[in-house]
């Protein structure tokens, strides 16, 4: 990876990043946070509960409770909201399972249903893998959403389009990709400009991933952000795309921690 990958973004891009930064802690809007990470929550519920309708009941109850009451204070000594939310979901599952059958299984006959069918799966490693895999997917989806927003706000740039093109067909040459861009979007682009926009898009995407991870931490200092990126198997794919001084340039609030 050449040193050009560490070149600073344009001043306009940096202002945009500063404006959309979620480093103010996403859990302050509890309902939005649960919806954003809904796929991870659902995957974890599905790994613990045997029946789809039970998953829907738990998710509905959890969302209503979070929207109405928000989240209790997160333990700042741990600071990783992913773990806190996982425990919250598991507690919601256990609360559901403690309800009387008539309440839990409205419209279902209890005849012939083994009690052990309603015990959470003992395969915790599988549940943990489902949780972390979907959490990672949600982080990346959020970064894609923000990159698309950047493209819509900057009509002269094609950050989201060129990065998706590269992901969908990584073997295509820059000239081929540029031709596809011209045909699909009617934009003026050649192989050189495609490579430049792709390099810029990759760096911007990596920064967005870092910002989103920081938003899921109670205290987003550099060590905790890097640890979370490693745990979510994201660090190796972005480490060469973020600036060497990312601890200060991407996490400006660290000086106070």
Kindly list the distances between the CA atom of residue 121 and the CA atoms of 38, 49, 104, 108, in Å, as whole numbers in the listed order. Answer: 20, 7, 17, 21
pLDDT score of 71 more than 80: no
Residue 103 confidence (pLDDT): 52
Residue 243 burial (10 A CB sphere; 0-12, 13-18, 19+): middle
Residue 206 confidence (pLDDT): 96
pLDDT score of 59 more than 60: yes
Q: Which helix (H) or strand (E) holds 226?
A: helix 222-231
The top-scoring range by mean pLDDT among 61-65, 73-77, 205-209 is 205-209
- Per residue in 124-145, pLDDT (tens digit) is 678 888 899 999 999 999 999 9
- If you average pLDDT over residues 99-117, what whole number do you get? 45
Tokens of 224: 């905790």
Question: Measured in Å, how far apart are the chain's first and last C-alpha atoms?
Answer: 32
Dist. CA 87–CA 182, nearest whole Å: 49
């Amino acid at each position: 990876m050449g040193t050009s990958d560490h070149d600073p973004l344009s001043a306009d891009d940096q202002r945009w990043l500063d404006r959309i930064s979620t480093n103010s802690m996403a859990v302050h809007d509890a309902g939005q946070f649960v919806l954003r990470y809904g796929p991870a929550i659902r995957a974890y519920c599905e790994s613990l509960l045997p029946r789809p309708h039970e998953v829907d009941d738990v998710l509905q109850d959890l969302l209503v409770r979070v929207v109405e009451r928000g989240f209790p204070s997160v333990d700042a000594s741990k600071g990783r909201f992913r773990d806190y939310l996982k425990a919250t979901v598991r507690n919601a599952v256990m609360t559901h399972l403690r309800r009387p059958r008539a309440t839990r299984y409205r419209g279902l006959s209890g005849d012939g249903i083994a009690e052990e069918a309603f015990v959470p799966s003992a395969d915790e490693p599988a549940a943990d893998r489902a949780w972390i895999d979907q959490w990672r997917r949600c982080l990346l989806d959020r970064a894609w959403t923000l990159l698309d927003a950047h493209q819509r706000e900057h009509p002269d740039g094609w950050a989201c389009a060129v990065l998706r093109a590269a992901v969908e067909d990584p073997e295509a040459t820059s000239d081929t990709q540029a031709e596809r861009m011209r045909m699909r979007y009617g934009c003026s682009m050649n192989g050189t400009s495609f490579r430049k926009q792709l390099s810029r898009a990759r760096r911007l995407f990596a920064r967005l991933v870092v910002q989103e991870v920081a938003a899921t931490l109670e205290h987003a200092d550099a060590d905790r952000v890097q640890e979370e990126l490693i745990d979510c198997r994201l660090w190796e794919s972005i480490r060469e795309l973020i600036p060497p001084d990312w601890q200060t340039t991407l996490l400006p609030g660290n000086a106070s921690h």
